[in-house]
Amino acid sequence: MKSLSKAVAVASLLSAGIMSAQVANAEVSFNAAGTSNYMWRGDTQTANGSAISGGADYSHESGAAAGVWTSNVAGDTEIDYYVSYGAEVGAVSLSAGVISYDYNADTADFVEFNVGAGFADASVTYSVKIDDGDSTKDNDDAAYISLGYGLSLAEDVSLDLALGQTINASKASSSADKYDYLAAVTKSLPDFDFTLAIANKEDGENEMFVAVSKSF
């Protein structure tokens, strides 16, 4: 779901509008969500329209994990596949993995390598593009770095904050690196989670959206 590190909650919020938590002690879990706007790294993926998504994750007690996630996007369908490995080193959680983004429009496909680290309520993730449909290969090393912080506001209410930067590595482009941010409040209910979030868009405007998710 456009995130390899389960420790980085906001990475999923930037992706599908909501992070679906894994079922405790389960090797296989499933998730489904609906959002009023699919925002990712400061850009709407649905032309400011709604999206329905779902996925499945497999996790092993060794720290290895794999999964698949899909969503509608503007004029297309997105399917993401990932494999990752995570470990605890003292109070620090570490993860690394690869994620493939697959679209019906093959020229939009790309692959990212991701590493992440988390400590207490804070996290950092670095993703670098290692392959895409660009025949010139100018953008294959484009990168993204994000900082996340999550905290509990009440027994079943949480706040997630994220700040990200897209590093423009194109040899043919002079456009500046792009920053994005997101703030989201999630209320956990017995049958689903409800999230209200605000993110900045590429045009500088703020976008507020809502999401409902369920994991099982």
The CATH number given to whatever domain includes residue 65 is 2.40.160.40
Residue 2 lies in a domain: no
Amino acid 203: pLDDT:
67
Q: Tell me which DSSP letter residue 108 carries.
A: G
Amino acid 112: pLDDT:
92
Residue 4 lies in a domain: no
Angle at 45 between CA 85 and CA 109, to 5 degrees: 55
Domain span at 207: 9-215
Amino acid 6: pLDDT:
34
Residue 142 lies in a domain: yes
Amino acid 10: pLDDT:
41
Q: What 3-state class would DSSP assign to 138?
A: coil
Structural domains in the chain (count): 1
Amino acid 134: pLDDT:
59
Residue 104 lies in a domain: yes
Residue 202 lies in a domain: yes
Q: β-strand 206-215 against 28-35: which pairing, if any?
A: antiparallel
Residues of the chain with pLDDT under 50: 1-26, 171-172, 174
Amino acid 51: pLDDT:
92
List Cα–Cα distances, 112 to 101, 118, 161, in angstroms.
Answer: 8, 20, 23
Residue 210 lies in a domain: yes
Q: What 3-state class would DSSP assign to 204?
A: coil
**Distance between CA atoms of residues 10 and 159, nearest Å:** 10
**pTM score, whole prediction:** 0.83
Residue 3 lies in a domain: no
Residue 38 lies in a domain: yes
Backbone angles phi, psi at 176, to 5 degrees: -75, 160
Cβ–Cβ < 8 Å for 4, 116: yes
